[in-house]
Amino acid sequence: MILITGGTGFIGSHTVVEFITIGLDVIIIDNLYNSSQVIIDRIYEITGTKPIFVKGDIRDKAFLISIFEQYPIEMVIHFAALKAVGESVLKPLEYYDNNVSGTLNLLNVMYDRGIKKFVFSSSATVYGNPHEIPITENCPIGTPINPYGQSKVIIEKILQDLSFADKEWSIAILRYFNPIGAHESGLIGELPNGIPNNLLPYITKVASGKLPKLSVFGNDYNTKDGTGVRDYIHVVDLANGHLKAYDYIKDKNGCYVWNLGTGKGYSVLEIIKAFETASKQKVPFQIKSKRAGDIDECWADCAKAQKELNWQAKRDIYTMMVDSWRWQCNQSK
């Protein structure tokens, strides 16, 4: 059985679908801070299987112990985390408490139970302002410019130290770039509470009339059109990367790191244009000042994942936009 923390969230829910589809038993734990239990029913609609769901927080050690005592868990896929870059600058203590302390709780309980297979949801933010573009796994980490990224660096270092100290651990660290899109069924996608922190959910809410206009944070970055450039990856491609990582480490020991992205960078203005083309909706926007913690540009070199995991992103930017808009339209019904 696979334990997926944060499994009702955006990336977690899509990964649950992919794991169930290949016949694996899944249990989800989530505190529903930024997601909804209705996603469990949506997963059932897609797969015909309803995963076990238990509401709880990874910072609650007694809760985690009860889960591991009750279920025959063999591996953990760890998504549960606070994830908004801008918010992390304003609330660093919350981010370190939830992301770092929660992960330590989880690893300690796993260690005590002798369960030593772990896939970690990391981020390209660990590279900070990257030394080179495209970014390879060999680029230095440890200099993020926001607490969210720093929390991921701390956890990566904990995992690497753990693997060095105890050779029985099998650990995959997946550094992903900017996940967007939604499941092609339109049943699951990114569903943030309140005002979205990420670009695509904000765009879709503006296009559907739920928000008046998009704020573009900065037009004077050192990029092709002055707006920030990122590597956007379809969430289903990303979910499949977790399947590949699971397959890779299940019979191996050690700590492995892979970038998951497309290897292409798109600016904010290019994303707006691509969305308008795919959805045939106008997206009014206004330029605002830069946000603290944002860098000019980044995109991935994913050759290592392609070579070692036999994985690469398949869905193009148009598909990402179409699937995002379908998901948003379904929320309005």
Q: Which residues are catalytic?
A: 148
Exposure b/e, 5-31, CB count within 10 A at least 16 = b? bbbbbbbbbbbbbbbbeeebebbbbbb
The two tokens of residue 31 are 């505190």
Kindly write down the DSSP assignment for every residue of 218-258, as one continuous string: -S-SSSSSSS-EE-EEEHHHHHHHHHHHHHHHTT--EEEEE
Contact by Cβ (8 Å): 67, 3: yes
Contacts of 16 (CB under 8 A, 6+ apart): 4, 7, 26, 28, 43, 51
- Among 10, 22, 14, residue whose Cα is nearest residue 239: 14
Closest Cα partner for 290 from 86, 91, 75, 123? 86
Q: Report the alpha-carbon distance of residue 306 to residue 71 in Å, rounded.
A: 34
Rg from Cα positions in the chain = 19
